[in-house]
Amino acid sequence: MKIPRFVSVFLCGAAALLALALLKALLVSGLSALPPVKILIFASSALGLVAAMIDWALLRQRVPPRHFQDSDVSKLSSERATAVAHALSDPLATNSQSAANAHSTPEVTTGPSNEVILHLAQVHPIVFMEICPPSATGLSFYGGVPIVPPQFAWPRTSNKPGKTPLSFVMQWDCAELAAQDETGALPPDGALYLFCDLTWGEPFDFKFVHASGPTENWTASSLPEDLPPVYGDEGAHLVPYCSSQVEKRFQDVPRLLPKWPFAPAAFSYPTLSADADADYRFWSEAGAVSEALFSLQHHQGQAPTDPPRKQALPFDRPFPAFPHDFAAVRIVASELLRRLHRPDPKLLLDKFEHDRKTTLQRWADSAADLYNSATSHSPAAAVEQSVSDRIWRRIEQMAPAVERGWDAVVQECVNTSLGIGSEASSALPANLVAECAQRHELATVHIRDEHAGSLPGGAEVNSAESRTIHAPCPNHMFGPPSFVQGHVEEYLEEWILLLELSTRKLIGHEFGEGVYQFMIRPAHLRERKFDRVKLVASAY
């Protein structure tokens, strides 16, 4: 078993102090002059801890990362060199032992070696391009109801009493994955599923499930009757159309995450320039990676530049049908309840204190009534126009409490409606849907003119064009993991990053600002042993 680096440094530091103390006693003052055992143990432990902390803080990132390059094949052991070079040029090539092992029975396996799979996975990450507005077809998507073969068994927890059903997080069309997989190790048919225990806290449970075979006749799974609400007791705080400011019986937290289809897409992770302060074992948001993601997102041509920066939308009805579905009603009511729970001291300052408190309480009661009434309908159900008009008039009366940041509230309503498959999605204006789609892109470009200054005498210098790309680390299979305060670096030399998921509010993933990094050994990936996956759960 590999000893973690932190522990190794600790033990070496402690042993070094003990050795020095013994050596000094033997050579100078005699063993009788040694301090008591307790003091020796305390001092050596303290030195070991200090050494380990210094190594973690200062030296860990100075260790050069282990990356295979095509030119590195010659550095591998002689019995592997030919097989690795062949597999790098043809991932589906057959790998066999070299003549150097002729004294033993040759082991013939198909596909590249574990070392090559590890290398190919590191340099060819697969990201998930979210499809917005969502399409109704395809087997690759986050949330919603999984599409499964007959007799599919919904996974349940294995580390908690009651064997509660796990929440469905996402699934992949394996044929789509195989088309992007440079390693050839992912399953080529059927679908791969991820189910997780989304209740916050320990212990955490998850299961990857691979269902093989043709998918033509697969159907939406029936939901277990005891499937819990997403995020457990935290769901009312995390789902945008839920509120924790109402009685629990009215919170109506959903049991499914919003459905967002995606297209898996691989790209070649750029070879980054040397930088002594960077650790390239981890995902970089540097220019080369951002450019690669932008090119992947807009592979059919250059994307249009960003529109001029918009001013915050004034409070107004964003389109005639708003609120168009009961999720939108609940989002506005939830936001009102949140703001009225601890009102802004500047709100309604023109009123006497008694009148102010009375008005704020009346608004809070009205918002709670709106929310509670909306929970008697499906969040995706459309609101009739006459009912929508009446609800809007009630919202208008509470405008001072919700007008600040109104554009963000409207964007949340649009994104939620698309994610839950709202019956009223057709009522959403095209410009609001386009804005929502841009927020789901892997990378967005920002081009703006920057004034370059003026010459003596007042003459203006031509402005310069500034281009920046915003591309945060996406959810991805393979490639480098992102760096968070976990211990994923302990796995990097021998394990593949099977999947990294981060908190992403747009698709309903709320992991407490955390990151889930699922690791698997190359051999287990080839053998479809997804029960051997290890999880590193970290938080920023």
Residue 59 has pLDDT above 90, yes or no: no
Please report the pLDDT score of residue 60 as a whole number. 46
The predicted-structure confidence for 439-454, as pLDDT tens digits, reads as follows 999 998 877 666 555 6
Please report the pLDDT score of residue 327 as a whole number. 98
Kindly state the average pLDDT of the residues 360-377: 96
Please report the pLDDT score of residue 64 as a whole number. 39
Instruction: State the CATH number of the domain containing residue 260.
Output: 2.30.320.10
- Are 395 and 457 in a shared domain? yes
Written as six digits, the tokens of 375 are 């929970």
- Are 22 and 51 in a shared domain? yes
- Report the distance separating Cα 184 and Cα 163, nearest Å: 35
Please report the pLDDT score of residue 319 as a whole number. 97
- Report the distance separating Cα 132 and Cα 225, nearest Å: 31
Last residue of a domain, one of 452, 471, 490: 471
Residue 28 has pLDDT above 80, yes or no: no
Written as six digits, the tokens of 530 are 């997804």
What single-letter amino acid sits at 265?
Answer: A
- Are 336 and 467 in a shared domain? yes
- Are 311 and 419 in a shared domain? yes
- Report the distance separating Cα 535 and Cα 461, nearest Å: 55
Kindly state the average pLDDT of the residues 482-488: 83
- Are 535 and 492 in a shared domain? yes
Helices (H), 207-325: 235-238, 248-251, 287-297
- Report the distance separating Cα 466 and Cα 468, nearest Å: 7
Kindly state the average pLDDT of the residues 312-341: 94
Last residue of a domain, one of 112, 144, 175: 112
- Are 437 and 337 in a shared domain? yes
Per the domain annotation, does 394 fall within a domain? yes
- Report the distance separating Cα 333 and Cα 395, nearest Å: 8
- Are 76 and 219 in a shared domain? no
pLDDT band at residue 105 using 50, 70 and 90 as cut-offs: very low
Kindly state the average pLDDT of the residues 261-286: 80
The predicted-structure confidence for 497-539, as pLDDT tens digits, reads as follows 999 999 999 999 998 778 999 999 999 999 999 999 999 988 7
Give percent above pLDDT 90 in the chain: 58
- Are 451 and 490 in a shared domain? no
Mean of pLDDT over the chain: 83
pLDDT band at residue 457 using 50, 70 and 90 as cut-offs: low
Please report the pLDDT score of residue 539 as a whole number. 75
Buried b (16+ CB within 10 A) or exposed e, 355-386: eeeebbeebbebbbebbbbbbebbbbebbeee
Last residue of a domain, one of 471, 487, 518: 471
Per the domain annotation, does 491 fall within a domain? yes
Written as one string, the DSSP assignment of 32-84 is: GGSPPHHHHHHHHHHHHHHHHHHIIIIIGGGSPP----GGGGGGS-HHHHHHH
Least confident of 328-332, 369-373, 514-518: 514-518
Least confident of 21-30, 141-150, 282-291, 425-434: 21-30
Specify the number of domains making up the chain.
4
- How many helices (H) and strands (E) the chain has is answered by 15, 16
pLDDT band at residue 298 using 50, 70 and 90 as cut-offs: confident
Please report the pLDDT score of residue 110 as a whole number. 62
- Are 89 and 198 in a shared domain? no
pLDDT band at residue 86 using 50, 70 and 90 as cut-offs: very low
The predicted-structure confidence for 73-84, as pLDDT tens digits, reads as follows 333 333 333 433
Buried b (16+ CB within 10 A) or exposed e, 498-507: bbbbbebebb
Residues 6 or more apart whose CB falls under 8 angstroms from that of 433 comprise 132, 133, 414, 418
Per the domain annotation, does 427 fall within a domain? yes
Per the domain annotation, does 285 fall within a domain? no
Looking at per-residue pLDDT, the higher value among 478 and 105 belongs to 478
Per the domain annotation, does 283 fall within a domain? no
Per the domain annotation, does 223 fall within a domain? yes
266 touches 126 (CB < 8 A): yes
Residue 207: closest CA among 163, 262, 246, 251:
163
Least confident of 144-148, 320-324, 413-417, 511-515: 511-515
- Are 145 and 219 in a shared domain? yes
In the three-class reduction of DSSP (H, G, I as helix; E, B as strand; rest coil), residue 518 is classed as strand
Least confident of 7-11, 253-257, 261-265: 7-11
Q: How many CB atoms lie within 10 A of CB 325?
A: 30
- Are 386 and 352 in a shared domain? yes
pLDDT band at residue 12 using 50, 70 and 90 as cut-offs: confident
- Are 483 and 515 in a shared domain? yes
Structural domain boundaries enclosing 444: 305-471
Per the domain annotation, does 297 fall within a domain? no
HSE (CB half, 13 Å, CA atoms) of 60? 18
Looking at per-residue pLDDT, the higher value among 40 and 383 belongs to 383
Stated pTM of the model: 0.77
| Phi, then psi, of 353 in degrees rounded to 5 | -55, -45
Per the domain annotation, does 88 fall within a domain? yes
- Report the distance separating Cα 444 and Cα 203, nearest Å: 37
